[in-house]
A and B are shown apart, each in its own frame.
Chain A
Amino acid sequence: MRVTQNMISRQYNRNLNNAFSKYSYATQQSTDYRAFYTAGENPMGYSKLFSYRQQISKNDTYQANVKNVQSRMDTAESSLTSINTMLSEISSTDYLKGVTGTTSAEDREVIATKILAMRETLISTANAKYGDDYLFGGSNSSDAPFTVAADGSVLYRGINVVTLKYAGSDGKGASCNVNNSTVDFGAANGTAFNGYSLIINDSTAPSTVDTQSKTITVNLDISGGTNTKGDLEAALQGLDYSAMGGSVDKTAISIGGDASGIISARRVEINGGADPIAAGTPVADMDALANEAVYVDIGLGLDVSSANEINKQSAFNTAIPGISFLGYGVSNGGIPNNLYVLMGDIASQLTAADFSMDKIQPYLDAFDTQSSKVLTSMTEIGAKTKFVEYTTASLTTQGDNLANQRANVEYIDTLDAIENYSTAAYSYKAALQAGKNLLQYSFLDFMD
């Protein structure tokens, strides 16, 4: 084939260009060791890389969540331990063990005082916080779960732990608790509102009363700013209750608290206002509260339906409702189950003029029963803590694996990068040198 200077110089130009572009790519790779810079260079690698990145991000979040959960469990465990210690002190160490029918009144007085002092500690420990959150409040972590009302009754999230009624409803008429204020449906209305639910929606549609589903739906324009307690009161007083039969005195409906307080959308059960619940009657409210669950996603394959039903195996329940170990309601004979109330009752039994072992024994038995439930709760938390530890270890291992796999896809071996660079640099230099000889002579240089 005939070869001309033109051809040689053009080909040389092209090849030199190629060598130089390889050299510049190798230089870039040797500074950041990336395997590729665009999806076009390695589409499958790009796809894998981003899959790893997303998984790593999730893994990091799970690890953070688990750490949080771990700390809370630790704090909860230590609170429960101190409660347990206190309870065993009371029942098995000094106090109640030594009480017999012949203990003197002065001794009994001393023991009663000690017990009363200890029960304050019980409440404050049950209201323990982790940071800004109350540990034993179930799904409500912003308000203290246990409060003692002025008349000495104990409330768990506004419900009396013995009578299981919402506070303020002692025979005065149905009521419910909305944003920490009581909506009183009025003693004049008797039991008309018993069993109803109050639903507050953010809507501008008219409010309704539905006797079939037993709901009172109040629509406030919450996002539009018409959502104060005063508005709620006005809405309730303005509703048409004729469907409920009988005559409902609207003006008897009132809501406590500051009228300018904010209401948020919610659904609340209205509690009957007549007598306290009889022993043994299941009460949906308190049972639900005692079994409340608050879920955290720690990477167990979270499964939630669009109607918000959570598959319990797919998330971790961090809720430890205080009422579940402190007890609620009454058992046979009208003895309350709640430890705080029991301690108060035991103290008053001890100081009573007609003290007798027969009279105090049921209380002592109830106290022992509930104390063992505290122990059970502690064991459960211990098991949860173990599970969390296991999950932490597993997540850490997963995270390391993912990081490794990602690095394998995203980066090239340092040695390879440096080798590529050296080779490319050498080729380029060699090409430059060859050019010097290639483009020099032609026949014309040798003519006379």
Chain B
Amino acid sequence: MMDFILPLYSNGFLSPEGNLFFAITMGFAFGFILERTGFTRAQMIADTFYFKNIAVPKIMGVTIITATTWFILFAWMGWIDLHALFTPKTYVWPYLVGGLLFGLGMVMAGYCPGTAVAGLGTGKSDALVFLLGLFAGALGYFLLYPFVKDFASSGDLGVLKLHDLFGGNEYTSYILTIALETGIILFLMLLQKLTNKGEK
């Protein structure tokens, strides 16, 4: 077995305190980029769903393409252990229902938690109201937890990667990811053209 250097933290090259300092640094970069790309505007996120402006899926798609390209390159060089990266487990039913609800909340508010935090930093008063709503939602979930507990862990497939479904290895997942993201961006560009025909 080869000795990996990356990820630094899980391989013991970074102390927990160092990692917390790093958390602020990377969060800073994340917030900075969210503001620079316009993600902190509720209007921009909402525009996505009316096909007025599809910068949001474009940025997300290119983000995934870029990050996975770095991963595959570094894994190929033997520099990073992809299995040590934290990957959320797959719970089919709660993710499906949670996703639909998330979409509803997003088109209501025009924010997701990360963009609202950066948005608050830029002075958006509605982002502050959205963040207060998050507290209310968490309280609601805690109170209802005894009733939704079983549903929340239904359809448990563990850590499931794309290549576990289609066979192959990380490279298969990588190619599928690039194809999906590129396809989604192109499809949305086409839809945008069709729906905005006649409009400027």
> Do A and B come from the same complex?
no
Interface residues of A (CB under 8 A from B): none
